[in-house]
């Protein structure tokens, strides 16, 4: 049962062939069997999940009208507040915190009857690309347990890839949904900025953060996308417009006559051979389906990485000021007569990990008087140029494409002491965040040199998220025909259960 797609599970629930309690228990059993190896979860809420499943089953048997994925289980990135359930954002500074409220994403999942099985591991405060920056140890890639699953939403991606959950929620500030989706052979979407409410999403970089769905198929991802998207009065940046019809787009999957732009700057040098060849093959497939492929020039993308690593740390240095040891979370050094400032400084030293400290210090520097214009100011101008490059490109084409990540999954520990090498892996995903548009990664096959998954990235203008699903579904179907079986059937067996 756990090998089915979320759409098939939902169908089986509707037809009465299984119950949500059975389906949830099967996934909890899978977690018990393999998560010792994968370490996707920081907290498994078996009791809460089964209670929720029982409730959905009862409502279904009473004939209540339920959402399309009611009763299907899900893994939730630990960056989203869930009432009464430990929420840490992967940080020691929040160890043991149980939020007194639900994030809007969680409220929407609960009202749609989606079963929240637990909280997944992540780079601390979503700062990182490998999940190694978690305060609770790394997550391991189900394709090769000596490698990282990517990050920062590595726990969510690994859970879906290892069949511990058919669906998961991540968040994407510089690629943190698309990159781990690529490295674990699944589908991940970063919706348009403002499409999914950030209320209750622990902030890293507020002008870039966006929560989004993971699934093993384009349609599953669309089903979850429609549940979590929509206007929210509690987020001032939430877009007040109808949710794009992503489910319909995923079902149609037609690229005949679609104009697809290949970004010149996001390929070639620096891209692993097997990554480039899977990307080129996918392009040929899209062309054979009737899409028109053209090359587009986005010259300022060359500076996107530099701009991102100024803007995101600047915003984080401000956002993380809220972790001050006063109202929630860790407090150390609170001895008689210790000043608030001393307690704050000692707590932030004990509670934050290396990468978080590095980014706070970098952001503090970039925002300090005398350097502000040269660093943060220039980065904001580069951001304008990137938005203009996209606008020009989207005037010529419907969607833009690139490899999601220049390489396949790397070894645990390989880049942990070399922050710049780690940052370079985000080069193809970051421009989407800076422009506030949407992007998808879907599996394009395995690189011949290491047999690890390669991601194909599709980008579309703001609030045109349906185009991602339309193009993604077409490519997915063509690849499936070519392979004969889903890509995950080639992943190694974990825990003796497949």
In the region spanning residues 97 to 136, those forming contacts with another protein, defined by CB under 8 A, are: 97-101
234 vs 273, beta carbon nearer another protein: 234
98 vs 498, beta carbon nearer another protein: 98
Pick the binder of another protein from 53, 218, 307, 479 (CB under 8 A): 307
Binding characters for another protein, 386-425, by CB under 8 A (x = yes): -x-------------------------------xx--x--
Contacts of another protein in 352-371 (CB under 8 A)? 352, 354, 357-358, 360-362, 364-366, 368
385 touches another protein (CB under 8 A): yes
64 touches another protein (CB under 8 A): no
Pick the binder of another protein from 329, 353, 431, 461 (CB under 8 A): 329
The tokens for 21 are 């309690």
CB of 327 to another protein, least distance (A): 6
Rounded Cα gap, residues 430 and 410, in angstroms = 19
Q: Distance of CA 331 to CAs 81, 206, 319, 325, 425, Å?
A: 20, 25, 18, 5, 35
Contacts of another protein in 198-227 (CB under 8 A)? 207
Pick the binder of another protein from 246, 379, 405, 460 (CB under 8 A): 379
CB of 197 to another protein, least distance (A): 13
32 vs 342, beta carbon nearer another protein: 342
Stretch that binds another protein, among 67-75, 105-113, 236-244, 450-458 (CB under 8 A): 236-244
245 vs 346, beta carbon nearer another protein: 346
375 touches another protein (CB under 8 A): yes
Residue 492 and residue 143 in contact, taking contact as beta carbons nearer than 8 Å: yes
Rounded Cα gap, residues 310 and 326, in angstroms = 28
Q: How many CA atoms lie within 13 A of 72 on its CB side?
A: 32
287 vs 338, beta carbon nearer another protein: 338
CB of 307 to another protein, least distance (A): 5
283 vs 325, beta carbon nearer another protein: 325
Residues touching another protein, count (CB under 8 A) = 73
Say how many residues make up the chain.
498
- Cα torsion through 26, 30, 31, 32, rounded to 10: 100
Q: For this structure, is 77 an active site residue?
A: yes
CB of 257 to another protein, least distance (A): 29
CB of 269 to another protein, least distance (A): 17
Instruction: Please report which residue ranges of 397-440 form alpha helices under DSSP H.
Output: 419-424, 430-435
Q: What is the DSSP letter of 357?
A: H
Residue 28 and residue 241 in contact, taking contact as beta carbons nearer than 8 Å: no
25 touches another protein (CB under 8 A): no
Residue 426 and residue 413 in contact, taking contact as beta carbons nearer than 8 Å: no
Q: How many CA atoms lie within 13 A of 16 on its CB side?
A: 6
* Nearest Cα to Cα of residue 72 among 43, 42, 49: 49
Residue 133 and residue 359 in contact, taking contact as beta carbons nearer than 8 Å: no
Q: For this structure, is 152 an active site residue?
A: yes
**Quick one: how far is CA 191 from the chain centroid?**
10
462 touches another protein (CB under 8 A): yes
Contacts of another protein in 169-198 (CB under 8 A)? 193-194
Stretch that binds another protein, among 256-264, 343-351, 399-407, 442-450 (CB under 8 A): 343-351
Query: Dihedrals φ, ψ of 313, to 5°?
Result: -65, -35
Catalytic residue among 4, 39, 77, 415: 77
Q: Which residues of 455-476 are buried (b: 16+ CB within 10 A; e: fewer)?
A: bbbbbbbbbbbbbbbbbbbbbb
Residues that are catalytic? 77, 152, 176
């Amino acid at each position: 049962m756990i090998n089915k797609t979320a759409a098939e599970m939902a169908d089986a629930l509707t037809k009465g062939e299984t119950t949500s309690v059975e389906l949830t228990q099967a996934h909890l059993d899978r977690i018990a069997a393999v998560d010792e190896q994968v370490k996707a979860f920081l907290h498994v809420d078996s009791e809460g999940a089964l209670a929720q499943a029982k409730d959905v089953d009862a409502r279904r048997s009473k004939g209540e009208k339920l959402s399309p994925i009611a009763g299907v289980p899900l893994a939730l990135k630990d960056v989203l507040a869930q009432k009464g359930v430990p929420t840490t954002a992967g940080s020691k500074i929040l160890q043991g915190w149980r939020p007194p409220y639900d994030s809007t994403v969680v409220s929407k999942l609960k009202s749609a009857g989606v079963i929240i099985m637990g909280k997944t591991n992540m780079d601390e405060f979503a700062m990182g690309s490998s999940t190694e920056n978690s305060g609770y140890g790394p997550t391991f890639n189900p394709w090769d347990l000596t490698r990282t699953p990517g990050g920062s939403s590595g726990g969510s991606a690994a859970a879906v890839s290892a069949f511990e959950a058919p669906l998961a929620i991540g968040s994407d500030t510089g690629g943190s949904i698309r990159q781990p989706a690529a490295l674990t052979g699944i589908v991940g979407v970063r919706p348009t900025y403002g499409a999914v409410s950030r209320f209750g999403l622990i902030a890293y970089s507020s002008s870039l953060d966006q929560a989004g769905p993971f699934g093993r198929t384009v349609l599953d991802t669309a089903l979850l996308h429609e549940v979590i998207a929509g206007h929210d009065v509690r987020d001032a940046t939430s877009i007040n417009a109808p949710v794009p019809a992503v489910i319909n787009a995923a079902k149609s999957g037609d690229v005949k006559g679609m104009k697809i732009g290949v970004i010149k700057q996001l390929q070639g040098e620096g891209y692993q051979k097997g990554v480039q060849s899977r990307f080129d093959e996918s392009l040929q497939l899209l062309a054979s389906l009737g899409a028109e492929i053209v090359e587009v020039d986005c010259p300022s993308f060359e500076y996107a990485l530099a701009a991102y690593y100024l803007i995101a740390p600047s915003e984080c240095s401000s956002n993380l000021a809220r972790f001050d040891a006063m109202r929630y979370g860790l407090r150390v050094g609170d001895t008689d007569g210790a000043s608030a400032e001393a307690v704050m400084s000692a707590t932030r030293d004990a509670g934050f990990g290396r990468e978080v400290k590095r980014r706070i210090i970098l952001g503090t520097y970039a925002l300090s008087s005398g350097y502000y214009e040269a660093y943060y100011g220039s980065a904001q101008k580069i951001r304008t140029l990137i938005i203009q490059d996209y606008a020009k490109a989207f005037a010529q084409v419907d969607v833009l494409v690139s490899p999601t990540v220049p390489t396949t999954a790397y070894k645990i520990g390989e880049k942990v002491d070399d922050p710049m090498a780690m940052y370079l892996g985000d080069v193809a995903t970051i421009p989407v965040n800076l422009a506030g548009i949407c992007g998808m990664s879907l599996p394009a096959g395995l690189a011949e040199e290491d047999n690890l998954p390669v991601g194909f990235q599709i980008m579309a203008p703001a609030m045109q998220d349906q185009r991602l699903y339309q193009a993604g579904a077409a490519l997915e179907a063509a690849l499936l025909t070519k392979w004969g079986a889903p890509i995950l059937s080639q992943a190694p067996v974990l825990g003796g259960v497949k």
